[in-house]
């Protein structure tokens, strides 16, 4: 049986109520910079302000309680794109954050935004493949997020060599994940990972449904990781 909890709107209200004026301003500034950078760099297909606030900022913030339940330590956002959810999570939790993406233009844009937001003290970037990062910084992160990046089984493989023991992988997914989650549960032990919970929620537009799926690293993987670049997606377990 999956541990499923249906989130209530009040839970997001609770998150919003804890934000300082400065944090709210930074969240808005980040989104403004994303929309501005998007004129020259393909960061997002969503350019309408109100829609972007819901589908990017609000969506990112729903993961904050799960980040706060993870062990203390460094945070990694895999395949960060425009910095969602990584930058909103960095702003709200003040964890030391690494934003990773393989696309150089996106990293260049992110570096400009980080400087404009004066977040250089807690946020840095990595340009390259996740498998290469795992070789450079093995078992360095206490919590990792992945938003609309890959299948759960692929994310488990990519995250495991990067996570410290008892570290958490937090996946942002659509709600239609029953088969995907079932498969992930059958292979997670191979990666030294354990399924913790899935929580479903609806954003404030009333029509956008999301799921947060959480795994914990509980042991060393039984296979050698990372595999060659791209194998997690091309030939998943």
**What tens digit of pLDDT does each residue of 187-233 get?**
999 999 999 999 999 999 999 999 999 999 999 999 999 999 999 99
* 138 touches 115 (CB < 8 A): no
Q: In the chain, what percentage of residues exceed pLDDT 70?
A: 95
The pTM of this model reads: 0.94
Give 48's pLDDT tier (boundaries 50, 70, 90).
very high
pLDDT per residue as tens digits for the range 18-29: 899 999 999 999
- In this prediction, residues 131-150 reach a mean pLDDT of 97
Of 221, 203, 70, which is closest to residue 138 (Cα–Cα)? Answer: 221
Cα–Cα distance for residue pair 49/137, rounded to 1 Å? 36
Count of CA atoms in the C-beta half-sphere (13 A) of 68: 10
Homologous superfamily of the 4-234 domain (CATH): Vaccinia Virus protein VP39 (3.40.50.150)
Spatial neighbors of 51 by CB under 8 A, at least 6 apart, are none
Q: Give whole-number Cα distances, 45 to 55, 145, 195, in Å.
A: 11, 21, 32
């Amino acid at each position: 049986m999956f541990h499923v909890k249906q989130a209530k709107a009040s839970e997001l209200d609770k998150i919003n109520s804890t934000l300082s004026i400065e944090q709210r301003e930074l969240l808005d500034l980040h989104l403004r910079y994303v929309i501005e950078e998007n004129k020259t760099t393909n960061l997002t297909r969503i350019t309408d302000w109100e829609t972007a606030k819901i589908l990017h900022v609000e969506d990112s913030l729903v993961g904050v309680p799960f980040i706060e339940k993870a062990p203390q330590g460094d945070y990694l956002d895999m395949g960060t794109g425009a910095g969602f959810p990584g930058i909103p999570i960095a702003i709200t939790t003040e964890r030391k954050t690494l934003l990773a993406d393989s696309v150089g233009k996106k990293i260049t844009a992110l570096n400009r935004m980080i400087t404009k937001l004066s977040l250089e003290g807690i946020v840095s970037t990595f340009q390259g493949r996740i498998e290469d990062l795992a070789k450079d910084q093995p078992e360095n992160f206490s919590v990792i997020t992945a938003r609309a990046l890959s299948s759960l089984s692929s994310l488990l493989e990519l995250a495991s060599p990067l996570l410290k023991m008892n570290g958490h992988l937090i996946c942002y997914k659509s709600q239609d994940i029953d088969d995907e989650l079932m498969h992930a549960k059958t292979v997670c032990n191979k990666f030294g990972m354990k399924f913790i919970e899935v929580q479903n929620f609806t954003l404030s537009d009333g029509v956008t449904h999301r799921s947060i799926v959480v795994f914990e690293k509980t042991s060393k993987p039984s296979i050698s990781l990372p595999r060659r670049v791209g194998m997690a997606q091309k030939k998943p377990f």
